[in-house]
Amino acid sequence: MNLDFRPCAIIPSHNHARAVPEIIAALQARGLPVFVIDDGSDAKIRAALASLHDPINQISVVRLEPNLGKGAAVGHGFQLAMAAGYTHALQIDADGQHDLAALPALLRLAGEHRDALITGVPIYDRSVPLGRAIGRYVTHVWVWIETLSLQIGDSMCGFRIYPLVSVAKLYADGETVGRRMDFDTEIMVRLFWRGVLVIEHQVAVTYPAGNTSNFDLWGDNLRITAMHTRLFFGMLKRLPSILGRRSKQSRHWAWLTERGAYWGLRVWALAYRLLGRRVCLAIMSPVVLYFYLTGTEQRSASSDFLRRVHALKPGPSGAPGVLTGLRHFMSFAGRALDTFIGWVGDMPAEMIRPGKIDDLRVAEREARGALFIIAHLGNVDLARALLDEQTRQRLLILVHTRHAENYNRLLRDFRAEAAINTLQVTDLGPAAAMDLKARVEQGSWVVIAGDRVPVDSSRVVQVPFLGRDAPFSQGPYILGALLDCPVYTLFCVRQGDHFVLDVEKLADRIDLPRGNRDGAVRRYAEIFAQRLEHYALRNPLQWYNFFDFWNPGRKETRS
């Protein structure tokens, strides 16, 4: 544990001077001493940078001759910083592409997690050149493979804070770190391999107009390829220790990165458009296999669930094994695809067949809104994709975490009207409750998942599910009581080549009498759990809660 926190800043610059004074001012406003490393800039820029040298105010400009590359420049900065007794070094690009407003947040994180590498994750505006964007995505995929983890979402952002003690060890052990544009990724992966926690923080990134990038399309891409080759073999060598670190205890689902985040889904959606469903699933199979092999936690949750189902309702093919597990994972991949098919608009409406929908028709006729409880089983997204426009406008989806926003962003890219109203609820307070109540009065259909437990799991109720008590959220029923509106369950499951939509009323209104509230909540939760069990037993491979459903908070760690 690093106890001290004495950060400084390093600005590597090769022919960038225009934005540097502003960057220095922002860094100094945060009390950071600054090292500007002039990496062999041309005479004019050299003079401009040199004029910033101001040792009394802790601004040092150091010249490297000839140009050695970004990695070498930052590495030189590390040496200067360590020699001067600093414990942490903030690295920021000299061209002004990084949003200085993120400085306080990065520094706060670094102060709180002194052993960790704090890195910016870029949110790009429209100014990013397409070629760079694709290149970045390829790198992400490589890094995921090299670290066997999705923990590093962006390895190429040069806006970060390093714990110098870990950096010093890395260099002392003589590990190769790319000296040019391959530097940012390689040092991060190598630190990750050494067990340095990588904490990400979103930062805005703009490619300033008239900016000349020092990215050498051929040379740097070759270097990056060579780096990934080095890292890939490095990964193979370290495989046991990396996998060892991966088999961490199960975490609460809200902290789980839902596997295959925004970028991953995006690529698959594009492939679907170009190649179609069948080809996509075939291409996906190795990736699914990879996730199956490396997703220890998800794999064990899957097999636990499948065994429970098998115990209650033995299938013809005997006890579930690896093959069933793989099919379960494939089904998840297929679900993602189906959703896109629905949104891209290539799925005929008759793909969804009405099951029990009398109650839905009643709800449609009501001017007043309703509450719909859904589950991560089957494909509820499709149900909403195929609702008529007017009904879809009524939907208001309550979501727990940010990844749902990623998902929406993705859908919006494909179809503007897919911009579903979502509302993030972590805490249902009077403000949110009033807002929802007003919307229901105006006809909104509030949709909430009944099979995920809130992070603050004090409001759960244990009810029997597949033969054992499992924690269910009380949220939907408390919300139902507050909204004072009809409550329905909605399930949409795949059966062969089509989907069946079932909507059933759970209650005309939820009444939670004072004095016996817990009992009343339990009764409603039991009804939901029974319906969920009904569908889960019939469609076990369409169960998409890949975490220990019966003990979601067990051995909880926030790594």
Partner 1 sequence: MDDLERDIKALIIDALKLEDIQPDDIDSREMLFGTGLGLDSIDALELGIALRKHYGLRIETITDEVKGHFASVRSLAAFVQDQRKRDGGADAVA
Q: Which residues bind partner 1 (CB under 8 A)?
A: 427-434, 437, 478, 481-482, 512, 514, 517
In angstroms, what is the minimal distance from the CB of 425 to partner 1? 10
Nearer to partner 1, 62 or 428 (CB): 428
- Cβ within 8 Å of residue 360, ≥6 positions away: 488, 490, 501, 503
- Cβ within 8 Å of residue 369, ≥6 positions away: 394, 439, 440, 441, 442, 443, 444, 445, 446, 483, 485
- Cβ within 8 Å of residue 410, ≥6 positions away: 262, 265, 266, 269
Nearer to partner 1, 52 or 507 (CB): 507
Residue 125 and residue 204 in contact, taking contact as beta carbons nearer than 8 Å: yes
In angstroms, what is the minimal distance from the CB of 481 to partner 1? 7
In angstroms, what is the minimal distance from the CB of 220 to partner 1? 49
Phi, psi of 47, rounded to the nearest 5 degrees: -65, -40
Nearer to partner 1, 283 or 520 (CB): 520
In angstroms, what is the minimal distance from the CB of 394 to partner 1? 22
In angstroms, what is the minimal distance from the CB of 430 to partner 1? 3
**E strand or H helix that includes residue 391:** helix 389-394
Helix (H, G, I), strand (E, B) or coil at 519: helix
In angstroms, what is the minimal distance from the CB of 434 to partner 1? 5
Nearer to partner 1, 18 or 517 (CB): 517
Q: What is the distance between the alpha carbons of residues 427 and 400, in angstroms, rounded to a whole number?
A: 9
Vertex 67: Cα angle to 62 and 72 (nearest 5) = 70
In angstroms, what is the minimal distance from the CB of 446 to partner 1? 16
Nearer to partner 1, 286 or 430 (CB): 430
In angstroms, what is the minimal distance from the CB of 441 to partner 1? 13
Structure tokens at 38: 């002039």
The DSSP call for residue 39 is E
Nearer to partner 1, 199 or 432 (CB): 432
- Cβ within 8 Å of residue 395, ≥6 positions away: 384, 387, 420, 421, 444, 445, 447
Vertex 496: Cα angle to 490 and 502 (nearest 5) = 15
**Number of C-beta neighbours around residue 168 at 10 A:** 14
CA 491 to chain centre: 26
Q: What is the distance between the alpha carbons of residues 328 and 340, in angstroms, rounded to a whole number?
A: 19
Nearer to partner 1, 153 or 450 (CB): 450
Largest distance between two CA atoms of the chain: 81
Nearer to partner 1, 348 or 429 (CB): 429
Nearer to partner 1, 240 or 430 (CB): 430
